A = this chain, B = another copy of it.
């Protein structure tokens, strides 16, 4: 099981970051991830409602390669989280206004209420 590649945050160009944000599915994933603050609560398979497994894999890679998310491998599962501290250090305030902007978009895909209530990993 080869380790997952994560770019050094200093190597991420702003234009690449914005390219990764230019998709409704990826913005939906980002918003959902921002709702779960406990790290590693978000497993990839939680997003099956958003798209097919292979398409999800594609979008996860886009977010990861743009330095936005981190992916931890555990068994056959992958856990996602936002690289908040690093992003805020390199692009102060940006990721928060991005998330806030995306959260208000009514057309993004969303997870059900059991997600926000925190009863997912319970």
Residues of A within 8 A of B (CB): 13-19, 21-24, 27, 91-94, 97-98, 100-102, 105, 107-108
Contacts and interface: CB of A to CB of B under 8 A. Distances in A.
Contacts of A23: 15
Contacts of A100: 92-94
Q: Residue among A18, A19, A21, A93 with the most chain B CB within 10 A?
A: A18
B13 A22 contact: no
A14 B94 contact: no
A92 B97 contact: yes
Given A14-B102, A19-B22, A23-B15, A94 B97 contact: yes
Contact of A18 (B13, B21, B92, B108): B21
A18 B14 contact: no
